[in-house]
Amino acid sequence: MFAIEMVTKIITMGFIMDNGSYLRESWNQLDFFIVLTSFFDLMMSGKSLGFIKVIRLLRILRPLRFISHNKGMKMIVAALLDSGGAMLNVLIVIMIVWLMFAILGIQLFMGKMFYCSEEMYLLHSKTDCINAGYKWLRFDTNFDNVKNAMKSLFIVATFEGWPKIMH
């Protein structure tokens, strides 16, 4: 069905040479690629070569054909792709701010995110913990280096698991 629609479009619009031809629009290029890989998959259905498996993975692109037939969805996807540069700029600014707070956290909390393996809320010093026969361990989320500090800030910013850091 989709192949008949594609062939009809190619006949009416032209294939590639003219300005308004079929392959001059990116959505039509995507449609053409998906239909072409589907036909290739059908032709090679009895064979089990390695690269055929990759072609079969391209089946996941089939739902994208429905986007190309809906003007509203086309407009939304185009706006989302156009806003990618602005989102990247915001991400860079956020990372710089997080880096500043990570450095501040390292200055304030470096080497202070430890706990006792047992009696966590009763034994607060390394010597008391070791004298009691337990292990003095470092929290997974700590401020001992920039990587761990950024991870801790991400956890706090997303509100997922932040009480553990707070305590």
Write down the pLDDT at residue 89: 95
Q: What is the pLDDT of residues 89-119, one digit of tens each?
A: 999 999 999 999 999 999 998 888 888 888 7
Lookup: tokens for 114: 């430890």
Q: Where are the domains of the chain?
A: 2-82, 85-166
Q: Which of 27, 28, 26 is nearest to 10 (CA)?
A: 28
Lookup: tokens for 124: 């607060």
How much of the chain exceeds pLDDT 70, in percent? 97
* pTM of the complete model: 0.54
Question: What does DSSP say about strands 114-116 and 136-138: parallel, antiparallel, or unpaired?
Answer: antiparallel
User: Taking 70 as the threshold, does the pLDDT of residue 1 lie above it?
Assistant: no
Helix axes of 71-82 and 84-109: crossing angle, nearest 10 degrees: 40
pLDDT bucket at 5, cuts 50 / 70 / 90:
confident
Q: What is the pLDDT of residues 45-77, one digit of tens each?
A: 777 777 777 777 777 777 777 777 788 888 888
Residue 137 β-bridge partners: 115
